Structure 1
Amino acid sequence: MVFLASLRAYRRFFVVAWHFLPLLLSYARDRNRFFIFGRSRQVDSKTRIERADTLLESLLTLGPTFIKLGQLLSTRPDILPPEYVEELSKLQDEVPPAEWERARKVLESEIGPVEEKFAEFDTEAISGASLGQVYAAQINGEKVAVKVRRPGIEDLVEADLRVIRWSLPILMRFIGQGRAFSLENLADEFARTIREEMDYGREASMLREIRSNFEDEDGIAIPRVIDSHSGSRVLTMKYIGGTKINRVDELDDKNIDRHELAVTLQRAYLQMIIEDGVFHADPHPGNLAVKDDGTIVFYDFGMSGRADEFIQRKIVDFYIAVANQDIDGILDALIEMGTLSPEADRATMGKVMELAIEDARGEDIETYRVQQIVEQVEDTIYEFPLRLPSNLALVLRVATVVEGVCVTLDPEFDFISVATEYLTEEGYREESIKQYVSETGDQLQASAQSIIRTPPKLERTLDRIDRDDFYARVSIEDDNDVFDLLAKRLIYGILLAFGGLTTAVLYAAEAVPAAGISGAISLFVVGLLYRSFRKRKGIRTTPQFTRQNLRDRRGGK
């Protein structure tokens, strides 16, 4: 059995390599002028879009595991350029369902014979996804939805996870060191995430928890789990019908207020992320429906996540800073969350944030949208290779997808005003003001104490200077090894001068072989010296944003 699993993994490895190796070679060629060596280069957005489209087609061809991998990559702007992230966000988890007879074996091995367990069962799947498929049925007159894990998916996923692990050392050679760390962490995260999503017992648990958090909310409906007909590979829920949330014409025909729908949806996700700490993480239109009375229905909790208290606090700080146009507050929140490197140039990042807000806000301060800000931050994250906490990456994806759904419902939807109103109602802004007043008071107290302590210290220092008893210690930080580089160049220069003189003397003395050896050594030193001047340290970037290209990108979309 183990041998067959390994054999399948080896076969998949060659199939995956066949699809990805040309793309990796192109990516390596894009990063260096001379393929593997030489100075790096910048490629235009059109080339990146072409590469991303090729990657998308490869992921679709390789099947369920890689579709899921692409969806996860679409949440990681610290690994891929923005063009790739945008293209992969188009991946829909919709594939043709497996044959009923194969799915029936999975269903019956988990909960028992279909005829005994269900009064009615429609063998035509109402939806198919990469990891499972859904059927309509009835239990005691109640309509239910039965989610069945795709037959044979476990073996395929495990084989593909092996392939991904085997492929990592190869991928590391084609990407930068900063992204290599993120990619390695992503592989571990993906293995954990896809196994969790295949575990319908976990999904049922998350569904129950989120449903209990919205029991008193009239505008939100979450299906109830039928425990007697559920297991690790089968999940049976009460069926709740509705109109797909992005079918705005049908919603208008039913006289449903789309603006109120957008507000309800946004507030629901703010509650899940900020208050409850557990959230539905796949809010694309296929997983959201609207009942005739305007109630929003949530489907498919396979992709769900948790936000710890620290991340919740920082998200609140971020929202408040955006609402107050506090650029320093925005940067501080991003740095503390781990989204932005503490080593990043704050002045440059501040200008990026100011430009994003200025371009989006228009004349009214409340008209800008957080999605545009997040997009600009994502672009910058790629240029400064950083590491995103996995749950934070999921939160960023949820925020952008939800905002997109809200704008589909109401093109004038103001995300920030809704978030600000929510934070004010829940007391977060008041707490922020109290915290600011408290911190200001502490700073004033510290300043007063400093004023009292400074004169005596100053007098003692002046007395020591007067007695010639004052010493200063100076240490120079050289994180970029500038002094080391200068020392090497100086040594190379001395060796080159000495070698040139020695070669000339030996040649004049007609010791040609010795002169040749000395000349060869001198040429080698010339190469080392040239290389030291060609070497580049640090992160070199080109400006990602100008007012013009921001408008071009928006127009292109």
Structure 2
Amino acid sequence: MLAYARDRRRFLLFGRRRRVDPETHRYRAEVLLESLLTLGPTFIKLGQLLSTRPDVLPPAYIDVLSSLQDDVPPADWEEAKVVLEEELGSVDDRFVSFDTDPISGASLGQVYRARIDGDGDDDGTQDVAVKVRRPGVEELVEADLRVIHWSLPILLYFVDDARAFSLENLADEFSKTIREEMDYEREAKMLREIQANVGTDDRYVVPDVVDGYSNSRVLTMEYVGGTKINDVEELDRRDIDRSKIAEDLQWAYMQMIIDDGVFHADPHPGNLAVTDDGRIVFYDFGMSGRVDEFVQEKIVDFYIAVANQDIDAILDALIEIGTLSPEADRAVMAEVMELAIQDARGEDIEQYRVQQIIGQVEDSIYEFPLRLPKNLALVLRVATVVEGVCVTLDSNYDFIATATDYLVEQGYREESIRQYVSESGEQIRRSAESLTRITPKTERALDRLDRDDLYVRIGVEDSKSVFENLAKRLIYGMLLTMSLFSMGVLYALEAPEASLVAAAFSVVVAIQLYRSFRQSRSIRARPQFTRQSLRQRRGEE
């Protein structure tokens, strides 16, 4: 935290920003990663959430924390058994068989494979996955959340207003989502709702919840096996079309977010699998979210603008939804969006353009105008993780083309065109009305001009403090001239002590004058482009 504050002010309370190279950022990120792993389940979840928040951390941190998974040693079976039997009764009585080695371990719970009496197989039993909350995790999470909320005011003291906005939202969102993720009754409800919306499509599989074996601390589901979605070698061996899987995955999440309003919010590869017949299996609905109608409409507007490659409309949609500050430099953001669209289409990005963008945003990297309202943070997480999975499946995958196809098939794009025509007609009508009012106003202005009675009021906007800097330089220049003249006069009058004082004063003023002409340098950062990073990593491997 102190290092972060010194990056913004070298001497904490004053001084220029400190230049930090990417290697230092990466080192700090790795230290943070180790700290989060040591602190335990709550902070591991916090790290996963931070890895999707470019409005909070610089790109190097995002890159390091994105590799963070639930690397928590599994709880001892005897401890997990206590939780299971408190909720369901004797394991031997309720289950035909129970494998005590977890098939999946996470920070808040772990999953075991078991068999129960049912209609699943020929022998009258059913294969199930039993998710058990980790013993004592509730008290641990509550204690950790208190620490986070007590620490927040200290963190806010060291950051700017834009980042304070994001940090407060992050803390509120994190407290809500981690509590929801520990409530397995809520997870079962969300699972059933998503299953009703998506599970009817034969391209997807959402496991059934087993009633009578599930409550707030234990969730028993139908066991559905499959190949991990990022195991490309195994998918190829099974002759599964990876490009189609990527398209189906994006299609599913667009339906969940844009049409259904309820979505699976944790689509990392550990929670997605592919069956032998090419269907996508969704696991772990603990992190699920809802989208209100306003956000759905704005997301549609954003996707339509991206499909049309209308940069102004993209920026307008981001401002309306609250993600982009209205004071943002639209010219710079337009170039950023152009690069993002190129990358999403799988096109190569010229390095000189990347460096050009870095130079333009370099002076405001910690005041970057992007921010994430609470209702959009999970949506962003889904979008970024799904895009990464799709690119892993197919490095040439065109995210925008699939989004465009979805908008066309669901009728959103045609509706947008009709709305545009209607709005254009209304604009033409208003323009005609304005033309009828402009003639008399012009005549009155010309009459005042003829009578020398016309005044013009001008307001100068100086967001970059140009006039303030000019005034400082003039004053420093005058003081330097005066001190140099005084030094010369005092030396001629044989007053060496006084001339030394004047010389020292001249040096101080000269340094201040020189500093006023220097360009401020902020923390340099390299934008992370998913496809280029992926190709680079593959090349290194």
Please tell me the TM-score bracket, short chain as reference. 0.7 to 0.9
The 3-state SS of whatever aligns with 1:229 is: coil
Aligned residues of 2:17 and 2:523 also touching (Cα < 8 A): no
Q: 1:360-439 to 2 correspondence within 5 Å?
A: 384=368, 386-439=370-423
Answer with 468-477 or 414-423: which moved more: 468-477
- Out of 289, 305, 309, the position equivalent to 1:321 is 305
For residues 552 and 143 of structure 1, the distance between their equivalents in structure 2, rounded to whole angstroms, comes to 40
Aligned residues of 1:82 and 1:382 also touching (Cα < 8 A): no
> 1:85 and 2:62 equivalent?
yes
The corresponding residue for 1:274 is 258
The corresponding residue for 2:491 is none
- Hey, which bits of structure 1, 4+ residues long, moved more than 6 A? 362-365, 377-381, 478-498, 535-543, 550-554
Aligned residue type for 2:37 = L
For residues 354 and 317 of structure 1, the distance between their equivalents in structure 2, rounded to whole angstroms, comes to 17
* Deviation for aligned residue 1:359: 6.4
> 1:190 and 2:174 equivalent?
yes
The corresponding residue for 2:438 is 454
Q: 1:533-548 to 2 correspondence within 5 Å?
A: none
The corresponding residue for 1:332 is 316
* Deviation for aligned residue 1:127: 1.5
Give per-residue Cα distances to partners, 1:462-490, cap 9 Å, x unaligned. Answer: 22333455455555566677778889999
CA RMSD of aligned residues (A): 4.2
Aligned residues of 1:79 and 1:385 also touching (Cα < 8 A): no
Aligned residues of 2:324 and 2:370 also touching (Cα < 8 A): yes
The corresponding residue for 2:113 is 136
- Out of 247, 253, 270, the position equivalent to 1:286 is 270
Aligned residues of 1:78 and 1:381 also touching (Cα < 8 A): no
The corresponding residue for 1:99 is 76
> 1:256 and 2:233 equivalent?
no
Aligned residue type for 1:349 = M
The corresponding residue for 1:55 is 32
The 3-state SS of whatever aligns with 1:212 is: helix
The 3-state SS of whatever aligns with 2:297 is: helix
Aligned residues of 1:28 and 1:174 also touching (Cα < 8 A): yes
Count residues in correspondence.
Answer: 516
* Deviation for aligned residue 1:86: 1.4
Q: 1:476-555 to 2 correspondence within 5 Å?
A: 555=536
Aligned residue type for 2:536 = G
The corresponding residue for 1:74 is 51
Aligned residues of 1:77 and 1:382 also touching (Cα < 8 A): no
Aligned residues of 2:258 and 2:300 also touching (Cα < 8 A): yes
Change (3 A) 1:539 1:453: farther
* Deviation for aligned residue 1:497: 12
> 1:227 and 2:204 equivalent?
no
- Out of 278, 281, 287, the position equivalent to 1:297 is 281
Give per-residue Cα distances to partners, 1:292-351, cap 9 Å, x unaligned. Answer: 222211000111112222222222222222222222122222222222222111112222
Aligned residues of 1:265 and 1:296 also touching (Cα < 8 A): yes
% of aligned pairs identical? 67
For residues 216 and 243 of structure 1, the distance between their equivalents in structure 2, rounded to whole angstroms, comes to 21
For residues 45 and 340 of structure 1, the distance between their equivalents in structure 2, rounded to whole angstroms, comes to 25
For residues 188 and 38 of structure 2, the distance between their equivalents in structure 1, rounded to whole angstroms, comes to 30
For residues 350 and 255 of structure 1, the distance between their equivalents in structure 2, rounded to whole angstroms, comes to 41
Aligned residue type for 2:229 = I
* Deviation for aligned residue 1:437: 1.2
For residues 6 and 431 of structure 2, the distance between their equivalents in structure 1, rounded to whole angstroms, comes to 57
* Deviation for aligned residue 1:119: 3.0
Give per-residue Cα distances to partners, 1:21-58, cap 9 Å, x unaligned. Answer: xxx33334444444664210221212211111111111
Aligned residue type for 1:89 = S
Change (3 A) 1:341 1:542: farther
The 3-state SS of whatever aligns with 1:183 is: helix
Aligned residue type for 1:120 = S
* Deviation for aligned residue 1:276: 0.9
The corresponding residue for 2:296 is 312
The corresponding residue for 1:11 is none
Aligned residue type for 2:297 = R
Change (3 A) 1:112 1:63: same
Change (3 A) 1:477 1:350: closer
Aligned residues of 2:10 and 2:18 also touching (Cα < 8 A): yes
> 1:116 and 2:93 equivalent?
yes
Change (3 A) 1:26 1:268: same
For residues 186 and 519 of structure 2, the distance between their equivalents in structure 1, rounded to whole angstroms, comes to 47
The corresponding residue for 1:200 is 184
* Deviation for aligned residue 1:271: 0.5
For residues 540 and 443 of structure 1, the distance between their equivalents in structure 2, rounded to whole angstroms, comes to 44
* Deviation for aligned residue 1:546: 12
Aligned residues of 1:383 and 1:541 also touching (Cα < 8 A): no
The 3-state SS of whatever aligns with 2:379 is: helix
Q: Which has the higher contact order (CA 8 A, sep 6+)?
A: 2
For residues 378 and 415 of structure 1, the distance between their equivalents in structure 2, rounded to whole angstroms, comes to 26
Aligned residues of 1:244 and 1:288 also touching (Cα < 8 A): yes
For residues 516 and 475 of structure 2, the distance between their equivalents in structure 1, rounded to whole angstroms, comes to 17
Aligned residue type for 1:297 = V
Give per-residue Cα distances to partners, 1:253-298, cap 9 Å, x unaligned. Answer: 3332222222211110110111111111111111111222222110
* Deviation for aligned residue 1:138: 2.3
For residues 137 and 482 of structure 1, the distance between their equivalents in structure 2, rounded to whole angstroms, comes to 71
**Could you state the TM-score of these two structures normalised by the residue count of structure 2?**
0.82
For residues 433 and 386 of structure 1, the distance between their equivalents in structure 2, rounded to whole angstroms, comes to 28
Aligned residue type for 1:555 = Q
Aligned residues of 1:70 and 1:91 also touching (Cα < 8 A): yes
**Could you state the TM-score of these two structures normalised by the residue count of structure 1?**
0.80
> 1:350 and 2:334 equivalent?
yes
The corresponding residue for 1:466 is 450
Change (3 A) 1:263 1:399: same
Aligned residue type for 1:450 = S
For residues 431 and 164 of structure 1, the distance between their equivalents in structure 2, rounded to whole angstroms, comes to 46
For residues 216 and 272 of structure 1, the distance between their equivalents in structure 2, rounded to whole angstroms, comes to 13
Aligned residues of 1:82 and 1:378 also touching (Cα < 8 A): no
Aligned residues of 1:77 and 1:378 also touching (Cα < 8 A): no
The corresponding residue for 2:140 is 156
Aligned residue type for 1:460 = R
The 3-state SS of whatever aligns with 1:227 is: coil
For residues 464 and 290 of structure 1, the distance between their equivalents in structure 2, rounded to whole angstroms, comes to 77
Aligned residues of 2:22 and 2:524 also touching (Cα < 8 A): no
For residues 98 and 361 of structure 2, the distance between their equivalents in structure 1, rounded to whole angstroms, comes to 46
> 1:127 and 2:86 equivalent?
no
- Structure 2 unmatched runs, 5+: 118-124, 350-357, 483-497
For residues 191 and 99 of structure 1, the distance between their equivalents in structure 2, rounded to whole angstroms, comes to 27
Aligned residues of 2:250 and 2:386 also touching (Cα < 8 A): yes
For residues 249 and 497 of structure 1, the distance between their equivalents in structure 2, rounded to whole angstroms, comes to 74
Change (3 A) 1:493 1:536: closer
Aligned residue type for 1:134 = V
- Out of 161, 170, 178, the position equivalent to 2:162 is 178
For residues 532 and 277 of structure 2, the distance between their equivalents in structure 1, rounded to whole angstroms, comes to 39
